[in-house]
Amino acid sequence: MNLISIRIITSKIEELINFYEQVTGVSAMRYTPDFAEVKTKTATLAIGSTNTLQFFGGDNVAQPAHNRSVIIEFMVEDVQQHFEKLAGFLKDCTVQEPTTMPWGNKSLLLRDPDGNLVNLFTPVSREAVAKFEGS
105 bridge partner residues: 123
Q: Does 3.10.180.10 match the CATH number of domain 67-135?
A: yes
Say how far apart CA 36 and CA 39 lie, in whole Å: 10
Contact, 122 vs 105, CB < 8 A?
A: yes
Condensed to tens digits (0 to 9), the pLDDT of residues 12-35 reads: 999 999 999 999 999 999 999 999
**Which run of H or of E encompasses 40?**
none
Please state the domain extents for the chain.
Answer: 1-65, 67-135
Condensed to tens digits (0 to 9), the pLDDT of residues 88-129 reads: 999 999 999 999 999 999 999 999 999 999 999 999 999 999
Indicate the DSSP class of residue 28.
P
How many whole angstroms from its chain centre is CA 58?
25
Condensed to tens digits (0 to 9), the pLDDT of residues 46-92 reads: 999 999 877 777 677 777 888 889 999 999 999 999 999 999 999 99
C-alpha radius of gyration, the chain, whole number? 16
Top CATH class, 1-65: alpha beta
Percent of the chain whose pLDDT exceeds 90:
81
Say how far apart CA 80 and CA 123 lie, in whole Å: 12
- 6: exposed, middle or buried (C-beta count within 10 Å: 0-12, 13-18, 19+)? middle
Say how far apart CA 20 and CA 16 lie, in whole Å: 6
Instruction: Quickly list H helices, 13-123.
Output: 13-24, 79-85, 87-90
**Domain 1-65 matches domain 67-135 at the CATH topology level:** yes
Say how far apart CA 102 and CA 50 lie, in whole Å: 38
